[in-house]
Structure 1
Amino acid sequence: MSVPWKAGATPGARTGSGTGHRLGRPLLYLVLIALAVIAVLPLLWALSGSFKTISEIFEIPPRIWPRHATGSNYATVFSDIALPSWLWTSLWVAVVSTVLSVLFSTMGGYAFAKFDFPGKKILFDVMFSSMMIPMTVVVIPLFVEIAALGMGNSYLALIVPGLAPAFGVFMMRQFIVQSIPDQMLEVARVDGAGEIAIFLRIVLPLLRPALGALIVWNFLASYNNFLWPLIVLSDSGKFTLPLGLNSLSGAYTADYGVILAGSLIASVPTIAVFVGLNKQLIEGLTVGALKG
Structure 2
Amino acid sequence: MATRDLRTDIREFLSSRRARISPAQAGLPAYGGNRRVEGLRREEVALLAGVSVDYYVRMERGSLAGASDGVLDALASALQLDEAERDHLFHLARQSSGPRRRRPAGAVRSTLRQVLDAISDAPALIGNGRYDVLATNHLARALFSPLPADPRRPANTARFVYLAPEAARDFFVDYDRIAADIAAKLRMEAGRDPHDEDLIALVGELSTRSELFRQRWASRDVRLHRSGRKRLHHPVVGRLDLDVESLALPAEPGLYLTIYTAPARTPTADNLALLASWAATQL
TM-score range, shorter chain: under 0.3
More helix by proportion, 1 or 2? 1
- Structure of larger gyration radius: 1
RCO higher in 1 or 2 (8 Å CA, sep ≥ 6)?
Answer: 1
Give the structure-1-normalised TM-score: 0.23
Give the structure-2-normalised TM-score: 0.23
More strand by proportion, 1 or 2? 2
